[in-house]
Structures are given as structure tokens and as C-alpha cells.
Amino acid sequence: MHKLLSTLLVAALPMGAFATPQTYVIDSQHSFPNFTVNHLGMTTIHGRFDRMTGKIVFDPAAKNGNLEVKVATATISTGDAKRADGARSRDEHLRSPDFFNAAEFPEMTYKSTRLNFSGENLESIEGNLTLLGVTKPMKLTVASFKCGPHPFNKKPMCGAYAEGTLKRSDFGMKFGVPAISDEVKLAIGIEAYPE
């Protein structure tokens, strides 16, 4: 009976209710890109960027949409922000021209070109990553994606976690290779709310 009522309710709603794309704005307080990179072939360094903005446009009925994020490169954090002895910290080095050159390139961006679904589930995102002024294609595998009411305030929201791999030398970031791995694993965790 419950299934029949649900079917009748869906049939009674206008098709436009399902066909309108919804824009969600990324909540910068709960959304962070993070990364891992091998160090000296023996350990793994973890880090993240503390500031990301952007939007998700999603149309579940049409199974399409897009994702655009902007990451402030100067907000990189690996747990070594300042050293007591006055020596340059790892985070300071990562902001320098050897790596992210945050002064000249304050933003890293990702813009989707296609959302790939498997049935009802968002499976992957194809797009372009721009870093150090160089744009290269990058595919993100979606580990989770869900939209629904916020569990506390009941307002609509979407949450996602997607992962991909890049070679930093493709973007001109060659310092330290191979002692610091060329391959970097990037993950983006997102919470977003309607515009």
C-alpha cells in the first residue's frame, strides 16, 4: 500500500518538479580538499587546503550537472606551519615557487565536464584541474554522494567525497622528484547547501 501511495504521489506531481537543476553552494567550513604524497619512498605525508569555495549544479532526473571548485593554495597545511628555530617550515616551502607558488597562482581550480552515473548513483566526475596556470584533464571517482535534509535543521543539503590521482610534474611542479613522489592522491570532501 505504501508503495502504491508513493507511486500515485509521484505521478501527481508536475514533471517540472523533477527536471529543474538545483544549485548548491559549497560550505567552506565543512569542505576541504586533502592529499597524500609519498616521501622518500618510505612514508606518506598528509595535507589539506583550509579554504575552498564553489558550486554544484545537480539535476537528478536528467542525471547531469556540474561541479566547480576554487582552492586557495596559500591555505595549504601539512602540520608544519612554523618552526621554533626560525627555519623555513614545510608549509612555507610548499607555498613557495618550488611547489604551489601561491603568490603568483593563488587559486587551484577544478571544473567538471561530465558526470557519470551507474543507475541512480553518481560514479565519477570528469573534468579539468588547473594548477600553476596549467590545465589538465582529471577524473574523480565518487566514493559517496547524497542529497537530503540536514539531520539537525532539516534544510536541504548535499554531501560528497571524490578521489583522484595526478602527476604534479604535468603541471610543472617538479621539485624533489623522485624523493617526493610525482604522484599525488587528491580527495575532495564537500558539504553544500541550496543557493
Q: What is the DSSP annotation of 35-87?
A: EEEEETTTEEEEEEES-EEEEEEEETTTTEEEEEEEEEGGGEESS----TTSP
**pTM score:** 0.86
Q: Parse the chain into domains and list their residue ranges.
A: 20-77+106-194
pLDDT, residue 31, reads 97
Q: Which three cell numbers stand for residue 117?
A: 552515473
Q: Are strands 32-39 and 22-26 parallel, antiparallel or unpaired?
A: unpaired
One-letter amino acid at 158 equals C
Give the three-class secondary structure for 166: strand
Q: Which residues pair with 115 in a beta bridge?
A: 125
Block means of pLDDT (10 residues each) for the chain, 195 residues, are: 38 46 96 97 97 94 94 97 92 98 98 94 97 98 95 93 98 98 97 95
From CA 95, how far away is CA 104, in angstroms rounded? Answer: 10
Q: Is 20-77+106-194 a domain of CATH 2.40.128.110? A: yes
Give, in order, the Cα–Cα distances in Å from 33 to each of 18, 70, 180, 185.
31, 10, 20, 11
